[in-house]
Amino acid sequence: MRLLSFASRNRKELLRDPLNLAFGIGFPLVVLLLLSAIQANIPVSLFTIEKLAPGIAVFGLSFIALFSGIVIAKDRTTSFLMRLFASPLSASDFLLGYTLPLLPMAILQGIVCFIASFFLGLPMNADVLLALVVLIPPAMLFIGIGLLAGSLLTDKQVGGICGALLTNVSAWLSGTWFDLNLVGGAFKRIAYALPFAHAVDATKAAITGNYASILPHLWWVIGYAAVIMVIAVVVFKTKMNSDS
Amino acid sequence: MNAIATTGLTKKYGKQIAVNSLNLAIEQGTCFALLGVNGAGKTTTIKMLSCLTKPTGGDAMILGKSILSEPQAVKAITNVSPQETAVAPNLTVRENLELIASIYGSTVKAARQKTTRMIEDFHLAGVERRKSKTLSGGWQRRLSIAMALISEPQILFLDEPTLGLDVLARRELWSIIEQLKGKVTIILTTHYLEEAQALSDRIGVMAHGELKAIGTAAELIAGTSATTFEDAFIALATGSEACA
């Protein structure tokens, strides 16, 4: 009951902020439509919908880090978290309460992205459902980043780091805006040492029915998500027991 | 019976001593005011007693429960109204109250009933459906205090509760505190000396992390040979002779 009440509060805080909806769902859709329009007018296949939809789905998830980080940071800076720390809520109530509402939001983002992609020519088949499942580890990765950022930074800093830096870095290094093979070299090596390109490639593999290629990419994302989540939990618990 | 009994309660931040070996007993059902200039150790004391920060030394028993070994049990019977307003911004007034009631273990039905009662007691009916972020500072503070009371705590910590309230709202809160006396043990920190005098059964004056004196307002005046309570407070807080 305690956990559900707290999770419900966090869901309301997230969904009632129009900026969250605008950036989380609206902005990725605009980018999807824009790049599809560009593709329609160029002779090379740079933004075909099978490549673009997985990239935009992962790009949309990066805003989840921003949402979760801002909610936690605001709770900290307004003393609301102090009030909750003085209540019988346990550490696990806090962590699950902040995490649970974000997962359905992330899946909803994916659904909206793929529905829009159907209108742009993405084949409507069961592989899209598989792609939604594949998006869960990247969603957990971004939720963990948000939890970590919200535990350490102010809401303004979260806005800068997760809103500007993370969304851009994760998009540039994901291979969504351009094929990483075109750049190659150190850029490509860095991109594939990080989880974002793997998240896009795993989703791409799912959507194109290339099942054997899913897990080799997804393990990278799962590994990063697990490490980030553990760090976030440790930092949050430390903050909970600290004097600040 | 003592609601609170501290023995050698100490808090150090590095080499700086925020609270030094505090020995304090507060009788159940009374209102106890903790006075002191900024940095005297009042808020740190409240944070330790409400299990928000761990003491460096000593212990405190809250209705027989140790803040060190039974923090969850202590949290279930206490509640805090922090110095800064602590409300969930995108939740309505009613939702804020229901959230805190359910976090402290009320069922959905009980939370609704308690909320209705608090809305009546605090005259919040006119703003019941408004998001708390749209309320003025005074209304937010009123809501913040109502949120501290909705869990029906046996011990209530009010950290500068009337800061930012206008005269009428302040008098209204005084009246609520008066009604609670006898049923709830209230620990109040305030900078308004007349507030401490009007509301509290006993007053403790802290300076430099130490409890300098404890007693009724009359006892403190007599003990410092002062003519007014303000003079007595200044004498105790600064360690100077009272003005005759």
Where residue B186 sits, what CATH number does that domain have?
A: 3.40.50.300
Q: Name the domain count of chain B.
A: 1
Which DSSP letter does residue A86 get?
T
The reported pLDDT for the residue numbered B244 is 42
Please check the confidence at residue B184 and state whether its pLDDT lies above 70: yes
Q: Which residue of A has its CA nearest to B51?
A: A86
Using CA atoms, how far apart are residues A203 and A121, in angstroms rounded to an integer? 17
Using CA atoms, how far apart are residues A146 and A143, in angstroms rounded to an integer? 5
Q: Name the domain count of chain A.
A: 1
Question: How does DSSP assign A103-117, residue by residue?
Answer: HHHHHHHHHHHHHHH
* Residue A72, CA distances (Å) to A150, A229, B130 in order: 5, 15, 22
Asked if B86 lies within 8 A of A79 by C-beta distance, the reply is yes
Residues in chain A closer than 8 A to B75 (CB atoms): 86-88
- Single out the residue of B145, B1, B154, B7 nearest to residue B73, CA to CA: B154
- Residue B206 located in a structural domain: yes
Minimal CA separation from A177 to chain B, in Å: 35
A169-173: list long-range contacts, CB under 8 Å, 24+ apart: A169/A196, A170/A58, A170/A59, A170/A62, A170/A196, A171/A55, A171/A59, A171/A62, A171/A196, A173/A197
Interface of A with B in 69-88 (CB under 8 A): 74, 78-80, 82-88
Asked if B75 lies within 8 A of A88 by C-beta distance, the reply is yes
Edge-to-edge strands, sheet with B2-13: B16-27, B2-13, B57-62, B65-66
CB pairs under 8 A between A and B: 78
The answer to whether the predicted template modeling score (pTM) of the entire model surpasses 0.80 is yes
Residues in chain B closer than 8 A to A13 (CB atoms): 88-91
Q: Does A13 touch chain B (CB under 8 A)?
A: yes
pLDDT band at B243 (very low <50, low <70, confident <90, very high): very low
Using CA atoms, how far apart are residues A19 and B97, in angstroms rounded to an integer? 25
- Amino acid identity at A59: F
Minimal CA separation from B240 to chain A, in Å: 32
Asked if A88 lies within 8 A of B72 by C-beta distance, the reply is yes
pLDDT digits (tens, 9 = 90+) for B80-117: 988 888 899 999 999 999 999 999 999 999 999 999 99
pLDDT digits (tens, 9 = 90+) for A117-147: 999 989 989 999 999 999 999 999 999 999 9
- The pLDDT tens digits along chain A (244 residues) read 789 999 999 999 888 888 877 877 888 889 889 988 888 888 777 788 888 999 999 999 988 888 889 889 988 888 888 899 999 998 889 989 999 999 999 999 999 999 999 999 899 899 999 999 999 999 999 999 999 999 998 888 888 888 788 888 888 998 888 888 888 889 999 999 999 999 999 999 999 999 999 999 999 999 999 999 999 999 988 887 775 5
At A241, is the secondary structure helix, strand, or coil? Answer: coil
- Residue B8 located in a structural domain: yes
The ipTM, to two decimals, is 0.87
Q: Does A18 touch chain B (CB under 8 A)?
A: no
Q: What is the largest CA-CA distance in chain B?
A: 59
Asked if B53 lies within 8 A of A17 by C-beta distance, the reply is no
Please check the confidence at residue B175 and state whether its pLDDT lies above 80: yes
Whether A85 and B53 have beta carbons less than 8 Å apart is answered as no
The reported pLDDT for the residue numbered A40 is 82
Q: Does A210 touch chain B (CB under 8 A)?
A: no
Residue B193: domain span:
2-83+154-238
Question: Dihedral of the CA atoms B24, B28, B30, B36 (nearest 10)?
Answer: 20
